[in-house]
Amino acid sequence: MPANKKYLEQSGWQRFLKISAGILGGYLVSTTLHMALAFLFPHKAVLITITYTGFILWVILMILAFLAKSGYRIWGIYLGLALLFSIAIYCGKLINPIL
C-alpha cells in the first residue's frame, strides 16, 4: 500500500536538510553533550557511558529531525544546542584545566 502523498515531503531541499540534520546534526549534538559532561563531571564514568547513551541519543535526534516541520528550524535547534554544549566545554576547561 503506497504512502499518502500529503504526508511525503514535496521539496527535495527540505528532505536533504532533514536527512543531513538527522545524521550530522544529531551526531554533533550527541558528541558535544557528552564532551561537556566529561569536562564537568568525572570523565572516566562519562566516557564509559558514551558508548551506549551516545548512540541512543543520536538515534533519538535522527527521529526528531524527521518529525520537524522545517529542515531549517531543526538545523537551527541542533546548531544552537551544539553551541551551548561547546560553551559548557569551554567553561569546563576553565574550571578543570588538567583534562
User: How many distinct helices (H) and strands (E) make up the chain?
Assistant: 4, 0
pLDDT tens readout for residues 72-96: 999 999 999 999 999 999 998 888 7
pTM for the model stands at 0.84
Q: Is residue 87 situated within a structural domain?
A: yes
Q: Is residue 73 situated within a structural domain?
A: yes
Which residue segment(s) compose the domain that 75 sits in?
Answer: 12-95
What does the buried/exposed string (b/e) look like for 54-63 if buried means 16 or more CB atoms within 10 Å of the residue's CB?
A: eeebbeebbe
Q: Is residue 3 situated within a structural domain?
A: no
> Taking the CB of residue 73, how many other CB atoms lie within 10 A of it?
12
> Which single residue is written with the C-alpha cell 561547546?
86
Whole-number pLDDT of residue 99? 58
